[in-house]
Amino acid sequence: MMQDVVIAGGGIGGLACALALTRAGQRVRVLEQSARLAEVGAGIQLGPNAVRVLNAWGLSDGLTECVAFPEALKVRDARSSATLGCLQLGATIRARYGQPYATIHRADLHSLLLKALRARADMDVSLGARVSSFAEEGDGVSVTCEDGRHLRGAALVGADGLWSQVRTQLLGAHPVRASGHLAYRGLALPQDLPAALREPVVTAWLGDRLHVVHYPVRRGEVFNVVAVVEGVLGQGHGGAAGSDPQSWTHDAHAADLTRALGPACSDLMAVIGAVRGWKLWPLNDRPPMAGPGEQARGRVALLGDAAHPLRPYLAQGAAMAIEDAWTLGRLRADSRYPVDWSALFARYAQARWARNARVQARSERNGRIFHASGLMRLGRNVAMAMMGESLLDQPWLYGGPHAPRAE
Using CB under 6 A as the criterion, which residues of the chain lie in contact with ligand FAD when the complex forms?
8-14, 31-34, 42, 44-45, 130-131, 159-162, 165, 183, 226, 283, 304-306, 312, 315-319, 321
Roughly how many angstroms between the first and final C-alpha of the chain, as a whole number?
22
Q: How far is the CB of 386 from ligand FAD (least distance, A)?
A: 27
Residues 6+ apart with CB under 8 A from 66: 104, 105, 108, 112, 217, 218, 219
Q: How far is the CB of 54 from ligand FAD (least distance, A)?
A: 11
Q: Are 178 and 213 in contact (CB under 8 A)?
A: no
Comparison of 3 and 316: residue with beta carbon closer to ligand FAD: 316
CA angle in degrees (0–180, nearest 5) for 293-350-18: 90
The one catalytic residue among 97, 215, 313, 398: 215
101 as an active site residue: the answer is no
Comparison of 303 and 339: residue with beta carbon closer to ligand FAD: 303
Q: How far is the CB of 195 from ligand FAD (least distance, A)?
A: 25
Residues 6+ apart with CB under 8 A from 36: 127
Rounded Cα gap, residues 161 and 19, in angstroms:
18
Comparison of 53 and 339: residue with beta carbon closer to ligand FAD: 53
Bond before 190 cis per omega within 30 degrees: no
User: Shortest CA distance to 278 belongs to which of 322, 317, 239?
Assistant: 239
Q: How far is the CB of 181 from ligand FAD (least distance, A)?
A: 9
Q: How far is the CB of 337 from ligand FAD (least distance, A)?
A: 28
Comparison of 226 and 301: residue with beta carbon closer to ligand FAD: 226
Rounded Cα gap, residues 226 and 396, in angstroms:
26
Q: How far is the CB of 316 from ligand FAD (least distance, A)?
A: 5
User: Shortest CA distance to 107 belongs to which of 162, 156, 158, 42?
Assistant: 42
Q: How far is the CB of 185 from ligand FAD (least distance, A)?
A: 6
CA angle in degrees (0–180, nearest 5) for 163-168-169: 145
Which residues lie across from 280 on neighbouring strands?
Answer: 184, 250
Comparison of 339 and 353: residue with beta carbon closer to ligand FAD: 353
Query: In angstroms, how far is CA 140 from the centroid of its own chain?
Result: 30
Mark 87-117 as b/e (b = at least 16 C-beta within 10 Å).
bbbeeebeeebebbbbbbbbbbbbbbbbebb
Comparison of 326 and 335: residue with beta carbon closer to ligand FAD: 326
Rounded Cα gap, residues 238 and 187, in angstroms:
18
Comparison of 18 and 78: residue with beta carbon closer to ligand FAD: 18
Rounded Cα gap, residues 264 and 267, in angstroms:
8
In the chain, DSSP finds a helix count (H) and a strand count (E) of 12, 19
- Side chain identity at residue 94, one-letter code: R
Q: Which residues are catalytic?
A: 215
